[in-house]
Amino acid sequence: MDLTELTQRSGEWLKGSGPDSDIVMSSRIRLARNLADHSFISKATDPDRAVIEGELRQRVTDLKTAGEMFYVDVSELPGIDRQFLVERQLISREHAESHGARGVAIDRGEQVSLMINEEDHLRIQVLHSGFDLTEAWKQIDAIDDALEKRVRYAFNSKLGYLTACPTNVGTGLRVSVMLHLPALGITRQIEKVFRSLHKISLAVRGLYGEGSQAMGDFYQVSNQITLGRTEMELIKQVGDVVPVLIDYERRAREFLMRESHENLHDRVSRAYGILSTAQTISSEETMHLLSSVRMGINLGLISEISMPTINALFIRTQPAHLQKIRGTELSTADRNIERASFLRHHLSKDGGGSKN
């Protein structure tokens, strides 16, 4: 598949159709796996990586459990295309910036991606819209079981699945939920919430995972430790805290609507107005303003703009997406102009407006 085709549509996780999707953008479960008869990636030579990639490529593209898949040879992609896949949450930044033979198998709905030769030989990822950890686990568990019948994983009877990073040893499971928490930011409660999460061994990261900054008030909450815990215990650990965060955010939004309605309405209306009329705008400002508009839609302050449109704009206004859509590399200044034009066109096309 030509990656340009992906610019014309959004993945299932961006459609805002899952449970609690006003607050929870997506639920992701990732499994780290390694082949028993090969060195870890950190010790593998380029020929080793090529052998691993060739062996796993055949296995993952033949998978029936994950639906129709297409395979992308990441090592052959130009930088913009690699960044494009990162922006769509289909590969990690580490995978994009690595070297040697590596690839990713992706399903048509962009719910499933299987990264070959990232930090581990295989990273299986399932991404669902909204707060949907149970179904995401069922799907990834079926994929993992199907693969384990065809390859021999590195496994120890006492430790569990062996991984490149000690924190992943055991289940190799990382459970993460991406939440949109603008009201907690406005009411200055966000840092207090994060401190509480760290105390119970949950990590908080930005939009693109480890090492990334929070943008557009999006935060990924995930487990940090896998050793000594079962998959269901880890899913429960994250799953139990997310409803609490959802409740905190909703209460903060209700407080703002009740105690500071005019200021909140002004904030949302100004954000929509700038996005609809700007002639040049940066990625950072766009994310900040889209965050306010997204909250405004959920609070009924903005009418006739669909949530899928706003969700898609968070991704499609990122640098690599703009350049893929335009079909050429753009300087930072040209990207800012192109981004503003793209926003004006799509917000006008969607027919949005603000309620009085």
Give residue 164's identity as a one-letter amino acid code.
Answer: A
Residue 304 has pLDDT above 90, yes or no: no
Last residue of a domain, one of 195, 223, 252: 252
pLDDT at 171 (0 to 100): 94
In the chain, the number of structural domains is 2
Task: Please check whether residues 194 and 332 belong to one and the same domain.
Answer: no
Last residue of a domain, one of 194, 229, 252: 252
Q: How far is CA 197 from the centre of its chain?
A: 20
Residues 6+ apart with CB under 8 A from 165: 32, 119
pLDDT in tens, 285-300: 999 999 999 999 999 9
pLDDT at 305 (0 to 100): 85
pLDDT at 340 (0 to 100): 97
Task: Please check whether residues 50 and 146 belong to one and the same domain.
Answer: yes
Instruction: Give the whole-angstrom CA distance, residue 206 versus residue 217.
Output: 9
pLDDT at 5 (0 to 100): 84
CATH number for the domain including 104?
Answer: 3.30.590.10
Task: Please check whether residues 71 and 146 belong to one and the same domain.
Answer: yes
Domain that holds residue 341: 260-354
Task: Please check whether residues 69 and 100 belong to one and the same domain.
Answer: yes
Looking only at the bridges linking them, the beta strands covering 353-354 and 302-303 are: antiparallel
Instruction: Give the whole-angstrom CA distance, residue 256 versus residue 262.
Output: 9
Task: Please check whether residues 67 and 87 belong to one and the same domain.
Answer: yes
Last residue of a domain, one of 199, 233, 252: 252
Instruction: Confirm if 246 and 314 have CB atoms less than 8 A apart.
Output: no
Looking only at the bridges linking them, the beta strands covering 218-223 and 302-303 are: unpaired
pLDDT in tens, 88-134: 999 999 999 999 999 999 998 899 999 999 999 999 999 999 999 99
Backbone angles phi, psi at 268, to 5 degrees: -65, -45
